[in-house]
Amino acid sequence: MNYFTVFAKKLYTALGNKPKRGLELGKIEKYENVYVVIENGKIKDLTKEKPVDAKCIFADLVIPGFVDCHTHIPFYGYREMDFLRRVGGLSYLDIHASGGGIYETVEKVKNAELSELVRFNLKLLAKYFKKGVTCLEGKTGYGLNELDELKQLQALKILGKISHMDVVPTFMAAHAVPKGTSPSEYMDKVIEMLQKVQNDCQFVDVFCDVGAFDLKQTEKLLIAAKNMNFKIRVHADEIERTGATQLAVKYGATSVEHVLKISEEDIDILARSNTFAVLMPATSYYLNEKYAPARELIDKNALVALASDFNPGSSPVVEPSFVMNLAVRYLKMNPYEVLTAFTLNSAAVLGLADKIGTIEPGKDADLLLYNDADLETVMYLIGITPDVIIKRGQIFEN
Ligand code: NIG
Ligand code: FE
Asked whether the predicted pLDDT for residue 87 surpasses 80, the reply is yes
- pLDDT tens digits, residue range 385-394? 999 999 999 9
Q: Which ligand is nearest to the CA of 286?
A: 1
CA–CA gap between residue 252 and residue 379 (Å, rounded): 33
- pLDDT tens digits, residue range 309-343? 999 999 999 999 999 999 999 999 999 999 999 99
Residue 132 confidence (pLDDT): 98
Asked whether the predicted pLDDT for residue 1 surpasses 80, the reply is no
The response to whether residue 102 sits with its C-beta less than 6 Å from ligand 1 reads: yes
> Which residues, 6+ apart, have CB-to-CB distance to 113 below 8 Å?
none
Q: Are residues 338 and 387 in the same domain?
A: no
Calculate how far, in angstroms, residue 306's C-alpha sits from the geometric centre of ligand 1. Answer: 16
CA–CA gap between residue 303 and residue 19 (Å, rounded): 7
Distances (CA, A) of 6 to 84, 205, 254, 292: 45, 39, 35, 37
CATH number at residue 45: 2.30.40.10
Angle at 186 between CA 183 and CA 191, to 5 degrees: 120
Distances (CA, A) of 184 to 189, 190, 218, 321: 9, 10, 9, 40
The count of structural domains within the chain is: 2
Residue 115 confidence (pLDDT): 98
224 falls in which pLDDT band (50, 70, 90)? very high
Q: Are residues 79 and 20 in the same domain?
A: no
* Final residue in a domain of this structure, among 312, 330, 349: 349
Q: Which residues surround ligand 2, an ion (CB under 5 A)?
A: 309
Candidates 314, 317, 323: which one to mutate for ligand 1, based on the most atoms within 8 Å of Cβ? 314
Percent of the chain with pLDDT over 90: 96
Helix (H) or strand (E) holding 362: none
Calculate how far, in angstroms, residue 269's C-alpha sits from the geometric centre of ligand 1. Answer: 25
- pLDDT tens digits, residue range 364-385? 999 999 999 999 999 999 999 9
Q: Are residues 12 and 146 in the same domain?
A: no
Contact assessment for residue 49 and residue 289, using Cβ atoms and an 8 Å cutoff: no
Q: What is the DSSP string of 67-89?
A: EE--B--S--S--HHHHHHHHTT
Average pLDDT of the residues in 348-353:
98
Asked whether the predicted pLDDT for residue 99 surpasses 90, the reply is no
3-state helix, strand, coil in the chain (%, to 5): 35, 25, 40
Write b or e for each residue in 39-69: b if 16 or more Cβ atoms lie within 10 A of its Cβ, otherwise e: beebbbebeeeebeeeeebebebbbbbbbbb
Contact assessment for residue 335 and residue 375, using Cβ atoms and an 8 Å cutoff: yes
The response to whether residue 357 sits with its C-beta less than 6 Å from ligand 1 reads: no
The response to whether residue 235 sits with its C-beta less than 6 Å from ligand 1 reads: yes
Residue 284 confidence (pLDDT): 98
Q: What atom of ligand 1 comes closest to residue 75's alpha carbon?
A: 10
Asked whether the predicted pLDDT for residue 395 surpasses 90, the reply is yes
Expressed in angstroms, the distance from the first to the final Cα of the chain is 24
Calculate how far, in angstroms, residue 389's C-alpha sits from the geometric centre of ligand 1. Answer: 29
72 falls in which pLDDT band (50, 70, 90)? very high
CATH number at residue 176: 3.20.20.140
Residue 53 confidence (pLDDT): 82
**Atom 6, ligand 1: which residue's CA is nearest?**
314
Distances (CA, A) of 312 to 79, 182, 260, 263, 283: 6, 25, 20, 28, 11
Q: Are residues 47 and 36 in the same domain?
A: yes
CA–CA gap between residue 111 and residue 169 (Å, rounded): 21
Contact assessment for residue 271 and residue 300, using Cβ atoms and an 8 Å cutoff: yes
118 falls in which pLDDT band (50, 70, 90)? very high
Q: Are residues 128 and 206 in the same domain?
A: yes
Q: Are residues 330 and 186 in the same domain?
A: yes
Q: Are residues 82 and 153 in the same domain?
A: yes
CA–CA gap between residue 176 and residue 117 (Å, rounded): 20
Q: What are phi and psi of 280, to 5 degrees?
A: -135, 80
- pLDDT tens digits, residue range 8-20? 999 999 999 999 9
52 falls in which pLDDT band (50, 70, 90)? confident
Q: List the domain range (segments joined by +) for residue 46.
A: 3-64+358-397
- pLDDT tens digits, residue range 264-316? 999 999 999 999 999 999 999 999 999 999 999 999 999 999 999 999 999 99
Residue 177's CB is within 10 A of a number of other CB atoms, namely 21
Q: Are residues 189 and 325 in the same domain?
A: yes
Q: Are residues 292 and 375 in the same domain?
A: no
90 falls in which pLDDT band (50, 70, 90)? very high
Claim: this prediction has a pTM higher than 0.90: yes
Strand positions, DSSP E, the chain = 3-13, 29-39, 42-47, 55-64, 66-68, 133-139, 166-174, 203-208, 231-236, 255-258, 276-279, 303-306, 367-370, 388-391, 394-397
Residue 347 confidence (pLDDT): 98
**Atom 1, ligand 1: which residue's CA is nearest?**
309
Mean of pLDDT over the chain: 97
Helix (H) or strand (E) holding 271: helix 264-271
Average pLDDT of the residues in 147-165:
98
Q: What is the DSSP letter of 310?
A: B
97 falls in which pLDDT band (50, 70, 90)? confident
Residue 98 confidence (pLDDT): 87
Q: Is 232 left (phi over 0), alpha (psi -120 to 50) or beta?
A: beta
CA–CA gap between residue 47 and residue 33 (Å, rounded): 9
Calculate how far, in angstroms, residue 327's C-alpha sits from the geometric centre of ligand 2. Answer: 17
Q: Give the three-class secondary structure for 300.
A: coil
Q: Are residues 123 and 35 in the same domain?
A: no
Q: Are residues 345 and 366 in the same domain?
A: no
Calculate how far, in angstroms, residue 179's C-alpha sits from the geometric centre of ligand 2. Answer: 20
Q: What are phi and psi of 339, to 5 degrees?
A: -60, -45
354 falls in which pLDDT band (50, 70, 90)? very high
The response to whether residue 101 sits with its C-beta less than 6 Å from ligand 1 reads: yes
CA–CA gap between residue 109 and residue 176 (Å, rounded): 14
Strand positions, DSSP E, 157-316 = 166-174, 203-208, 231-236, 255-258, 276-279, 303-306
CA–CA gap between residue 319 and residue 227 (Å, rounded): 37
Q: Are residues 174 and 300 in the same domain?
A: yes
The response to whether residue 205 sits with its C-beta less than 6 Å from ligand 1 reads: no
Candidates 107, 233, 315, 317: which one to mutate for ligand 1, based on the most atoms within 8 Å of Cβ? 315
